[in-house]
Protein backbone atom coordinates (compact mmCIF):
# COMPACT_ATOMS: atom_id res chain seq x y z
CA UNK A 1 0.00 0.00 0.00
CA UNK A 2 1.39 3.37 -0.95
CA UNK A 3 -0.90 6.32 -1.41
CA UNK A 4 0.34 9.88 -1.83
CA UNK A 5 -1.88 12.94 -1.82
CA UNK A 6 -0.69 16.09 -3.55
CA UNK A 7 -2.55 19.21 -2.52
CA UNK A 8 -2.35 22.94 -3.13
CA UNK A 9 -2.00 24.84 0.14
CA UNK A 10 -2.86 28.33 -1.10
CA UNK A 11 -5.59 29.52 -3.51
CA UNK A 12 -4.70 27.24 -6.42
CA UNK A 13 -2.23 27.33 -9.33
CA UNK A 14 0.71 26.48 -7.08
CA UNK A 15 2.26 24.24 -9.74
CA UNK A 16 0.49 20.99 -8.85
CA UNK A 17 0.70 19.88 -12.49
CA UNK A 18 4.46 20.26 -12.57
CA UNK A 19 4.98 18.38 -9.30
CA UNK A 20 2.59 15.58 -10.31
CA UNK A 21 4.71 15.26 -13.43
CA UNK A 22 7.83 15.02 -11.29
CA UNK A 23 6.35 12.12 -9.29
CA UNK A 24 4.75 10.34 -12.24
CA UNK A 25 7.82 8.32 -13.15
CA UNK A 26 7.33 6.15 -10.05
CA UNK A 27 3.53 6.24 -10.01
CA UNK A 28 1.15 3.58 -11.32
CA UNK A 29 -2.11 5.40 -10.94
CA UNK A 30 -3.02 9.12 -10.80
CA UNK A 31 -6.45 9.90 -9.38
CA UNK A 32 -8.42 13.16 -9.52
CA UNK A 33 -10.77 13.15 -6.52
CA UNK A 34 -12.62 16.49 -6.59
CA UNK A 35 -13.36 19.57 -8.66
CA UNK A 36 -13.89 19.57 -12.38
CA UNK A 37 -12.70 21.55 -15.36
CA UNK A 38 -12.34 24.65 -13.17
CA UNK A 39 -8.80 23.25 -12.70
CA UNK A 40 -5.96 24.04 -15.07
CA UNK A 41 -2.76 22.05 -14.50
CA UNK A 42 0.22 22.92 -16.65
CA UNK A 43 2.99 20.51 -17.55
CA UNK A 44 5.96 21.59 -19.63
CA UNK A 45 8.04 18.87 -21.27
CA UNK A 46 10.68 20.27 -23.62
CA UNK A 47 8.86 22.22 -26.32
CA UNK A 48 5.53 20.67 -25.40
CA UNK A 49 3.14 22.39 -23.00
CA UNK A 50 0.01 20.66 -21.76
CA UNK A 51 -2.81 22.38 -19.90
CA UNK A 52 -5.02 19.68 -18.42
CA UNK A 53 -8.39 20.55 -16.94
CA UNK A 54 -10.23 17.33 -16.26
CA UNK A 55 -7.96 14.51 -17.36
CA UNK A 56 -5.49 13.50 -14.61
CA UNK A 57 -1.86 14.34 -15.27
CA UNK A 58 -1.06 10.60 -15.36
CA UNK A 59 -2.50 10.49 -18.90
CA UNK A 60 0.89 11.64 -20.20
CA UNK A 61 2.62 8.39 -19.16
CA UNK A 62 2.04 4.99 -20.66
CA UNK A 63 2.77 3.21 -17.38
CA UNK A 64 0.16 5.26 -15.43
CA UNK A 65 -3.54 4.61 -15.18
CA UNK A 66 -5.37 7.95 -15.09
CA UNK A 67 -8.51 7.86 -12.95
CA UNK A 68 -11.38 10.32 -12.50
CA UNK A 69 -12.89 9.44 -9.15
CA UNK A 70 -16.47 9.68 -7.85
CA UNK A 71 -15.88 13.05 -6.17
CA UNK A 72 -15.20 14.83 -9.46
CA UNK A 73 -17.89 16.66 -11.45
CA UNK A 74 -17.58 15.98 -15.17
CA UNK A 75 -18.60 18.05 -18.17
CA UNK A 76 -18.59 15.17 -20.69
CA UNK A 77 -18.31 17.44 -23.74
CA UNK A 78 -15.21 19.12 -22.28
CA UNK A 79 -13.75 15.74 -21.31
CA UNK A 80 -14.22 14.34 -24.82
CA UNK A 81 -12.67 17.46 -26.35
CA UNK A 82 -9.70 17.15 -24.02
CA UNK A 83 -9.30 13.48 -24.95
CA UNK A 84 -9.48 14.31 -28.67
CA UNK A 85 -6.92 17.10 -28.30
CA UNK A 86 -4.55 14.70 -26.52
CA UNK A 87 -5.02 12.06 -29.23
CA UNK A 88 -4.12 14.67 -31.84
CA UNK A 89 -0.88 15.28 -29.96
CA UNK A 90 -0.05 11.57 -29.97
CA UNK A 91 -1.24 10.74 -26.44
CA UNK A 92 -3.54 7.76 -26.19
CA UNK A 93 -6.36 8.40 -23.68
CA UNK A 94 -7.78 4.86 -23.90
CA UNK A 95 -6.51 3.89 -20.43
CA UNK A 96 -8.59 6.64 -18.75
CA UNK A 97 -10.97 5.28 -16.11
CA UNK A 98 -14.03 7.26 -15.05
CA UNK A 99 -16.15 6.58 -12.01
CA UNK A 100 -19.79 5.80 -12.76
CA UNK A 101 -20.63 7.65 -9.54
CA UNK A 102 -19.08 10.94 -10.66
CA UNK A 103 -21.70 13.62 -11.22
CA UNK A 104 -22.33 15.23 -14.59
CA UNK A 105 -22.16 18.97 -15.24
CA UNK A 106 -25.25 19.69 -17.33
CA UNK A 107 -25.91 22.68 -19.63
CA UNK A 108 -28.26 24.21 -17.05
CA UNK A 109 -25.42 24.16 -14.48
CA UNK A 110 -23.31 26.31 -16.79
CA UNK A 111 -26.21 28.67 -17.35
CA UNK A 112 -26.99 28.88 -13.61
CA UNK A 113 -23.33 29.53 -12.74
CA UNK A 114 -23.32 32.48 -15.13
CA UNK A 115 -26.64 34.02 -14.12
CA UNK A 116 -26.04 33.56 -10.39
CA UNK A 117 -22.76 35.43 -10.69
CA UNK A 118 -24.51 38.18 -12.64
CA UNK A 119 -27.22 38.43 -10.00
CA UNK A 120 -24.68 38.62 -7.19
CA UNK A 121 -23.30 41.78 -8.81
CA UNK A 122 -20.49 43.25 -6.73
CA UNK A 123 -20.79 40.32 -4.30
CA UNK A 124 -19.96 37.81 -7.03
CA UNK A 125 -17.42 35.08 -6.31
CA UNK A 126 -15.57 35.30 -9.60
CA UNK A 127 -16.13 31.62 -10.41
CA UNK A 128 -14.66 29.98 -13.48
CA UNK A 129 -18.24 29.75 -14.86
CA UNK A 130 -17.80 26.05 -15.55
CA UNK A 131 -20.97 25.02 -13.68
CA UNK A 132 -19.07 23.60 -10.70
CA UNK A 133 -21.15 25.09 -7.85
CA UNK A 134 -24.57 24.27 -9.36
CA UNK A 135 -23.46 20.69 -10.17
CA UNK A 136 -22.27 20.04 -6.60
CA UNK A 137 -25.44 21.69 -5.27
CA UNK A 138 -27.59 19.21 -7.21
CA UNK A 139 -25.44 16.33 -5.98
CA UNK A 140 -26.10 17.39 -2.37
CA UNK A 141 -29.79 17.96 -3.13
CA UNK A 142 -29.90 14.44 -4.61
CA UNK A 143 -31.22 15.53 -7.99
CA UNK A 144 -27.88 15.17 -9.74
CA UNK A 145 -27.17 13.01 -12.77
CA UNK A 146 -24.25 10.59 -12.60
CA UNK A 147 -22.00 9.25 -15.33
CA UNK A 148 -23.60 5.80 -15.04
CA UNK A 149 -27.01 7.37 -15.78
CA UNK A 150 -25.77 8.37 -19.24
CA UNK A 151 -25.47 4.67 -20.08
CA UNK A 152 -29.18 3.89 -19.70
CA UNK A 153 -31.48 6.03 -21.81
CA UNK A 154 -34.63 5.30 -19.80
CA UNK A 155 -33.09 6.22 -16.47
CA UNK A 156 -31.37 9.27 -17.91
CA UNK A 157 -34.60 10.53 -19.51
CA UNK A 158 -36.49 10.23 -16.24
CA UNK A 159 -33.79 11.99 -14.21
CA UNK A 160 -33.42 14.72 -16.81
CA UNK A 161 -37.18 15.33 -16.84
CA UNK A 162 -37.24 15.64 -13.03
CA UNK A 163 -34.29 18.04 -13.01
CA UNK A 164 -35.58 20.19 -15.87
CA UNK A 165 -38.98 20.65 -14.27
CA UNK A 166 -37.29 22.75 -11.60
CA UNK A 167 -34.32 24.13 -13.57
CA UNK A 168 -36.38 25.56 -16.41
CA UNK A 169 -38.70 27.26 -13.94
CA UNK A 170 -35.74 28.80 -12.17
CA UNK A 171 -34.08 29.86 -15.42
CA UNK A 172 -37.21 31.42 -16.90
CA UNK A 173 -39.12 32.76 -13.88
CA UNK A 174 -36.29 33.74 -11.53
CA UNK A 175 -33.56 34.74 -13.94
CA UNK A 176 -35.62 35.66 -17.03
CA UNK A 177 -33.58 33.34 -19.27
CA UNK A 178 -34.68 30.94 -21.98
CA UNK A 179 -35.45 27.34 -20.95
CA UNK A 180 -33.03 24.60 -22.00
CA UNK A 181 -34.28 22.03 -24.52
CA UNK A 182 -34.94 18.56 -23.11
CA UNK A 183 -34.75 16.60 -26.39
CA UNK A 184 -31.55 18.28 -27.46
CA UNK A 185 -29.86 17.58 -24.12
CA UNK A 186 -31.11 13.98 -24.02
CA UNK A 187 -29.73 13.15 -27.44
CA UNK A 188 -26.44 14.91 -26.84
CA UNK A 189 -25.75 13.35 -23.43
CA UNK A 190 -26.76 9.82 -24.48
CA UNK A 191 -24.24 10.20 -27.29
CA UNK A 192 -21.60 11.35 -24.77
CA UNK A 193 -22.43 8.28 -22.66
CA UNK A 194 -21.90 5.98 -25.64
CA UNK A 195 -18.55 7.56 -26.43
CA UNK A 196 -17.38 7.28 -22.83
CA UNK A 197 -18.96 3.87 -22.05
CA UNK A 198 -15.73 1.88 -22.26
CA UNK A 199 -14.05 4.18 -19.70
CA UNK A 200 -16.79 4.12 -17.05
CA UNK A 201 -16.14 1.67 -14.22
CA UNK A 202 -15.90 1.17 -10.45
CA UNK A 203 -12.77 3.25 -9.94
CA UNK A 204 -12.76 2.91 -6.13
CA UNK A 205 -12.31 -0.85 -6.53
CA UNK A 206 -9.61 -0.35 -9.15
CA UNK A 207 -7.69 2.06 -6.90
CA UNK A 208 -7.99 -0.23 -3.87
CA UNK A 209 -6.67 -3.16 -5.90
CA UNK A 210 -3.70 -1.06 -6.99
CA UNK A 211 -2.99 -0.11 -3.36
CA UNK A 212 -3.36 -3.74 -2.26
CA UNK A 213 -0.77 -4.76 -4.84
CA UNK A 214 1.63 -2.21 -3.35
CA UNK A 215 1.44 0.07 -6.38
CA UNK A 216 2.02 3.80 -6.00
CA UNK A 217 -1.19 5.77 -6.24
CA UNK A 218 -1.09 9.55 -6.46
CA UNK A 219 -4.19 11.53 -5.51
CA UNK A 220 -3.91 14.70 -7.60
CA UNK A 221 -5.66 17.56 -5.84
CA UNK A 222 -7.21 20.38 -7.82
CA UNK A 223 -7.86 23.88 -6.45
CA UNK A 224 -6.40 24.19 -2.96
CA UNK A 225 -6.83 24.35 0.81
CA UNK A 226 -7.86 28.00 0.98
CA UNK A 227 -10.56 27.28 -1.63
CA UNK A 228 -11.90 24.29 0.35
CA UNK A 229 -15.67 24.43 0.83
CA UNK A 230 -15.44 23.74 4.58
CA UNK A 231 -12.07 25.19 5.52
CA UNK A 232 -11.34 27.91 2.98
CA UNK A 233 -12.33 31.56 2.86
CA UNK A 234 -16.07 30.84 2.52
CA UNK A 235 -18.03 31.92 0.50
CA UNK A 236 -15.08 32.73 -1.78
CA UNK A 237 -14.26 29.08 -2.26
CA UNK A 238 -14.98 26.27 -4.66
CA UNK A 239 -17.72 23.69 -3.99
CA UNK A 240 -15.58 20.65 -3.16
CA UNK A 241 -12.96 19.54 -0.61
CA UNK A 242 -9.46 19.86 -2.11
CA UNK A 243 -7.79 19.06 1.25
CA UNK A 244 -6.07 15.70 1.63
CA UNK A 245 -9.02 14.35 3.63
CA UNK A 246 -11.14 14.99 0.54
CA UNK A 247 -9.12 12.36 -1.31
CA UNK A 248 -10.65 9.64 0.88
CA UNK A 249 -14.27 10.56 0.16
CA UNK A 250 -13.60 11.67 -3.40
CA UNK A 251 -11.63 8.62 -4.52
CA UNK A 252 -13.21 6.04 -2.23
CA UNK A 253 -10.22 5.03 -0.10
CA UNK A 254 -9.70 4.99 3.66
CA UNK A 255 -7.55 7.46 5.61
CA UNK A 256 -5.02 4.70 6.28
CA UNK A 257 -4.44 4.33 2.53
CA UNK A 258 -2.66 7.68 2.33
CA UNK A 259 0.85 7.76 3.78
CA UNK A 260 2.49 10.74 2.19
CA UNK A 261 0.87 14.16 1.91
CA UNK A 262 2.68 16.73 -0.19
CA UNK A 263 1.66 20.38 0.07
CA UNK A 264 2.45 22.50 -2.95
CA UNK A 265 3.06 26.20 -2.42
CA UNK A 266 4.41 29.03 -4.49
CA UNK A 267 7.27 30.96 -2.92
CA UNK A 268 4.82 33.87 -2.95
CA UNK A 269 1.04 33.80 -3.25
CA UNK A 270 -1.67 34.25 -5.85
CA UNK A 271 -5.43 34.21 -5.95
CA UNK A 272 -7.91 34.28 -8.87
CA UNK A 273 -11.41 35.61 -8.35
CA UNK A 274 -12.88 37.56 -5.45
CA UNK A 275 -12.31 37.24 -1.72
CA UNK A 276 -10.00 38.37 1.05
CA UNK A 277 -6.24 38.14 0.51
CA UNK A 278 -4.34 39.73 3.46
CA UNK A 279 -0.86 39.46 1.91
CA UNK A 280 -1.88 40.93 -1.46
CA UNK A 281 1.05 43.05 -2.64
CA UNK A 282 0.90 46.71 -3.57
CA UNK A 283 0.26 47.26 -7.30
CA UNK A 284 3.93 47.81 -8.23
CA UNK A 285 5.19 44.61 -6.56
CA UNK A 286 2.13 42.67 -7.76
CA UNK A 287 2.90 43.69 -11.34
CA UNK A 288 6.48 42.41 -11.02
CA UNK A 289 5.14 39.06 -9.77
CA UNK A 290 2.53 38.89 -12.55
CA UNK A 291 5.13 39.49 -15.24
CA UNK A 292 7.97 37.41 -13.78
CA UNK A 293 5.61 34.57 -12.83
CA UNK A 294 3.39 34.68 -15.93
CA UNK A 295 0.45 34.93 -13.57
CA UNK A 296 -2.48 34.54 -15.95
CA UNK A 297 -5.08 31.82 -15.29
CA UNK A 298 -4.65 28.50 -17.12
CA UNK A 299 -8.43 28.03 -17.35
CA UNK A 300 -9.90 31.51 -17.76
CA UNK A 301 -6.86 33.59 -18.75
CA UNK A 302 -7.64 36.06 -15.95
CA UNK A 303 -4.75 37.99 -14.44
CA UNK A 304 -4.03 36.47 -11.03
CA UNK A 305 -3.92 38.67 -7.95
CA UNK A 306 -0.41 38.47 -6.49
CA UNK A 307 1.01 38.83 -3.01
CA UNK A 308 3.61 37.64 -0.55
CA UNK A 309 3.90 34.23 1.03
CA UNK A 310 1.34 33.90 3.82
CA UNK A 311 2.83 31.77 6.58
CA UNK A 312 -0.33 31.93 8.71
CA UNK A 313 -2.35 30.34 5.91
CA UNK A 314 0.57 27.95 5.31
CA UNK A 315 0.53 26.76 8.94
CA UNK A 316 -3.23 26.37 8.77
CA UNK A 317 -2.92 24.25 5.62
CA UNK A 318 -0.11 22.15 7.12
CA UNK A 319 -2.39 21.29 10.03
CA UNK A 320 -5.56 20.65 8.01
CA UNK A 321 -3.76 18.39 5.55
CA UNK A 322 -1.30 16.80 8.03
CA UNK A 323 1.40 17.55 5.48
CA UNK A 324 4.41 15.28 5.50
CA UNK A 325 6.35 17.66 3.24
CA UNK A 326 6.27 20.86 1.25
CA UNK A 327 7.29 21.58 -2.32
CA UNK A 328 8.04 25.26 -2.94
CA UNK A 329 7.54 26.30 -6.57
CA UNK A 330 8.45 29.40 -8.55
CA UNK A 331 11.40 30.33 -6.37
CA UNK A 332 12.97 31.82 -9.52
CA UNK A 333 10.20 34.43 -9.69
CA UNK A 334 11.43 36.06 -6.46
CA UNK A 335 14.83 36.72 -8.07
CA UNK A 336 13.45 40.11 -9.16
CA UNK A 337 13.28 41.41 -5.58
CA UNK A 338 15.98 42.96 -3.41
CA UNK A 339 13.93 42.23 -0.35
CA UNK A 340 11.19 39.62 0.06
CA UNK A 341 8.27 39.95 2.44
CA UNK A 342 6.62 37.08 4.28
CA UNK A 343 3.38 37.48 6.21
CA UNK A 344 4.04 35.88 9.60
CA UNK A 345 0.93 37.01 11.49
CA UNK A 346 -2.26 39.04 11.10
CA UNK A 347 -3.24 42.04 13.17
CA UNK A 348 -6.82 43.01 13.91
CA UNK A 349 -8.13 45.49 16.49
CA UNK A 350 -4.85 45.51 18.36
CA UNK A 351 -4.60 41.74 18.56
CA UNK A 352 -1.98 39.59 16.84
CA UNK A 353 -3.05 36.31 15.21
CA UNK A 354 -0.43 33.68 14.48
CA UNK A 355 -3.04 30.99 13.91
CA UNK A 356 -5.72 31.25 11.24
CA UNK A 357 -8.47 33.41 12.81
CA UNK A 358 -11.68 31.74 13.94
CA UNK A 359 -13.99 34.38 12.48
CA UNK A 360 -14.08 35.53 8.85
CA UNK A 361 -14.39 39.20 9.81
CA UNK A 362 -10.90 39.04 11.28
CA UNK A 363 -9.50 37.50 8.10
CA UNK A 364 -11.38 40.01 5.93
CA UNK A 365 -10.20 43.05 7.82
CA UNK A 366 -6.83 42.11 9.26
CA UNK A 367 -3.55 43.71 8.21
CA UNK A 368 -0.53 41.52 7.53
CA UNK A 369 2.52 41.53 9.80
CA UNK A 370 5.55 41.19 7.56
CA UNK A 371 9.05 39.92 8.12
CA UNK A 372 11.58 40.84 5.41
CA UNK A 373 14.19 38.51 3.95
CA UNK A 374 17.09 39.53 1.72
CA UNK A 375 16.76 38.68 -1.97
CA UNK A 376 19.52 37.03 -4.02
CA UNK A 377 19.35 39.26 -7.06
CA UNK A 378 20.40 36.77 -9.71
CA UNK A 379 18.99 34.14 -12.03
CA UNK A 380 18.54 30.77 -10.30
CA UNK A 381 16.78 28.85 -13.06
CA UNK A 382 19.99 26.91 -13.72
CA UNK A 383 20.25 25.60 -10.15
CA UNK A 384 19.96 21.81 -9.90
CA UNK A 385 21.16 21.21 -6.37
CA UNK A 386 20.96 23.03 -3.08
CA UNK A 387 24.61 24.06 -3.42
CA UNK A 388 23.77 25.86 -6.69
CA UNK A 389 21.34 28.17 -4.87
CA UNK A 390 22.59 31.45 -3.37
CA UNK A 391 22.67 31.39 0.44
CA UNK A 392 19.79 33.92 0.62
CA UNK A 393 17.57 31.55 -1.40
CA UNK A 394 18.48 28.67 0.90
CA UNK A 395 17.73 30.83 3.94
CA UNK A 396 14.39 31.76 2.43
CA UNK A 397 13.48 28.08 2.02
CA UNK A 398 14.54 27.41 5.61
CA UNK A 399 12.35 30.27 6.81
CA UNK A 400 9.32 28.91 4.90
CA UNK A 401 9.96 25.47 6.33
CA UNK A 402 10.21 26.78 9.88
CA UNK A 403 7.24 29.13 9.66
CA UNK A 404 4.94 26.50 8.14
CA UNK A 405 6.27 23.67 10.27
CA UNK A 406 6.78 21.19 7.46
CA UNK A 407 10.03 20.11 5.74
CA UNK A 408 10.71 21.27 2.19
CA UNK A 409 11.61 18.31 -0.03
CA UNK A 410 11.92 20.10 -3.39
CA UNK A 411 12.15 23.64 -4.70
CA UNK A 412 11.15 24.41 -8.26
CA UNK A 413 13.12 27.03 -10.17
CA UNK A 414 11.36 27.07 -13.54
CA UNK A 415 8.39 25.57 -15.38
CA UNK A 416 10.42 22.84 -17.15
CA UNK A 417 10.52 19.28 -15.86
CA UNK A 418 14.24 19.45 -14.95
CA UNK A 419 14.13 22.92 -13.37
CA UNK A 420 14.00 21.51 -9.88
CA UNK A 421 16.24 21.32 -6.81
CA UNK A 422 16.12 18.44 -4.35
CA UNK A 423 16.25 19.99 -0.88
CA UNK A 424 16.07 16.99 1.45
CA UNK A 425 14.84 13.41 1.70
CA UNK A 426 11.66 13.42 3.67
CA UNK A 427 9.87 10.11 3.15
P1 LIG B 1 -1.64 24.12 -10.94
O2 LIG B 1 -3.04 24.49 -11.23
O3 LIG B 1 -1.33 24.05 -9.48
O4 LIG B 1 -1.19 22.88 -11.65
O5 LIG B 1 -0.75 25.33 -11.52
P6 LIG B 1 -0.93 26.05 -12.95
O7 LIG B 1 -0.43 25.15 -14.00
O8 LIG B 1 -2.30 26.61 -13.09
O9 LIG B 1 0.01 27.31 -12.75
C10 LIG B 1 1.37 27.19 -12.47
C11 LIG B 1 2.17 27.89 -13.59
O12 LIG B 1 3.50 28.07 -13.16
C13 LIG B 1 2.26 27.09 -14.87
O14 LIG B 1 2.30 27.97 -15.96
C15 LIG B 1 3.59 26.35 -14.72
O16 LIG B 1 4.18 26.01 -15.98
C17 LIG B 1 4.41 27.39 -14.01
N18 LIG B 1 5.45 26.86 -13.12
C19 LIG B 1 5.43 25.76 -12.32
N20 LIG B 1 6.55 25.69 -11.56
C21 LIG B 1 7.28 26.80 -11.88
C22 LIG B 1 8.53 27.33 -11.41
O23 LIG B 1 9.19 26.79 -10.53
N24 LIG B 1 8.95 28.51 -11.95
C25 LIG B 1 8.24 29.18 -12.92
N26 LIG B 1 8.73 30.31 -13.39
N27 LIG B 1 7.07 28.69 -13.38
C28 LIG B 1 6.59 27.54 -12.86
P1 LIG C 1 -6.29 24.71 -10.05
O2 LIG C 1 -6.57 23.24 -9.89
C3 LIG C 1 -7.24 28.85 -8.98
C4 LIG C 1 -11.41 29.71 -7.96
C5 LIG C 1 -12.17 30.64 -8.89
C6 LIG C 1 -13.14 31.28 -7.90
C7 LIG C 1 -13.47 30.15 -6.94
C8 LIG C 1 -14.78 29.44 -7.25
O9 LIG C 1 -5.79 25.07 -11.42
O10 LIG C 1 -5.42 25.21 -8.94
P11 LIG C 1 -15.50 27.69 -9.14
O12 LIG C 1 -15.52 27.82 -10.64
O13 LIG C 1 -14.65 26.58 -8.63
O14 LIG C 1 -16.89 27.68 -8.55
O15 LIG C 1 -14.83 29.09 -8.63
O16 LIG C 1 -12.39 29.22 -7.05
N17 LIG C 1 -10.79 28.53 -8.61
C18 LIG C 1 -9.48 28.41 -8.84
N19 LIG C 1 -8.46 29.29 -8.65
N20 LIG C 1 -6.98 27.61 -9.45
C21 LIG C 1 -7.97 26.70 -9.62
O22 LIG C 1 -7.73 25.43 -9.96
C23 LIG C 1 -9.30 27.11 -9.35
N24 LIG C 1 -10.51 26.50 -9.45
C25 LIG C 1 -11.40 27.38 -8.97
O26 LIG C 1 -11.32 31.58 -9.50
O27 LIG C 1 -12.46 32.27 -7.15
MG1 LIG D 1 -4.14 25.94 -12.26
Measured between alpha carbons, how far is residue 81 from residues 58, 78, 269 in Å?
17, 5, 31
Q: Kindly report each contact of residues 162-170 with a partner whose C-beta sits within 8 Å and lies 24 or more positions away, as own/partner.
A: 163/106, 163/108, 163/138, 164/108, 167/108, 167/112, 168/108, 170/112
The yes-or-no verdict on residue 342 having pLDDT over 90 is yes
Is 13 an active-site residue? Answer: yes
Q: Which residue's alpha carbon is nearest to atom 11 within ligand 1? A: 15
The yes-or-no verdict on residue 427 having pLDDT over 90 is no
pLDDT confidence tier of residue 355, bands split at 50, 70 and 90: very high
The yes-or-no verdict on residue 267 having pLDDT over 80 is yes
Q: Please give the CATH number for the structural domain made up of 265-422.
A: 3.90.170.10
Query: Cα(352) to centroid of ligand 2, in Å?
Result: 30
**Which pLDDT score is estimated for 72?**
98
Domain parsing of the chain, residue ranges? 2-98+199-261, 103-196, 265-422
- Assign domain 2-98+199-261 to a CATH class: alpha beta
Question: In this predicted structure, which of 23-27, 154-158, 195-199 has the lowest mean pLDDT?
Answer: 23-27
Letter string b/e over residues 321-359, b meaning 16 or more CB atoms within 10 A of that residue's CB = bebbbbbbbbbbbbbebeebbbbbbbebeeeebeebbee
The chain-wide mean pLDDT, for the chain, equals 96
Residue among 28, 41, 199, 231 flagged as catalytic: 41
Is 359 an active-site residue? Answer: no
Which bound ligand lies closest to the C-alpha atom of 16?
A: 1
**Which pLDDT score is estimated for 301?**
87
> Residue 49 CA: which ligand 1 atom is closest?
16
The yes-or-no verdict on residue 412 having pLDDT over 90 is yes
Q: Which of 14, 73, 128, 300 to mutate to test the pocket of ligand 2 (most atoms within 8 A of CB)?
A: 128
User: Who lines ligand 1 at CB under 6 A?
Assistant: 8, 12-18, 40-42, 44, 293-294, 298, 329-330, 332-333, 412-415
CA distance linking residue 152 with residue 62, whole number of Å: 31
Identify whether the C-beta of residue 135 lies closer than 8 Å to the C-beta of residue 103: yes
CA distance linking residue 358 with residue 376, whole number of Å: 36
Query: Cα(39) to centroid of ligand 3, in Å?
Result: 5
Q: List, for residues 109-131, the tens digit of each pLDDT value.
A: 999 999 999 999 999 999 999 99
- Topology of domain 103-196, per CATH? Adenylosuccinate Synthetase, subunit A; domain 2 (1.10.300)
**Which pLDDT score is estimated for 336?**
92
**Which pLDDT score is estimated for 25?**
87
Amino acid sequence: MSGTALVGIQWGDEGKGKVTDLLAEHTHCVVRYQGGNNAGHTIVVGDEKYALHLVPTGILYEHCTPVIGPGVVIDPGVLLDEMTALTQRGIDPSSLKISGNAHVIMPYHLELDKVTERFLGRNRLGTTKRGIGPAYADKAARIGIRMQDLLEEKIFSTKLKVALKEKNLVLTRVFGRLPVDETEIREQYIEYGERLRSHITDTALLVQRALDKGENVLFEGAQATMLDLDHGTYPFVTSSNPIAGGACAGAGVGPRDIERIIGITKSYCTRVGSGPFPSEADPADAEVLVEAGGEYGTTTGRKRRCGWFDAVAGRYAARLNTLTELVVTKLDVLSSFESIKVCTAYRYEGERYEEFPPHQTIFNKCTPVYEEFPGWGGDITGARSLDDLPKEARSYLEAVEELVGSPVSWASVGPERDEIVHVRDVS
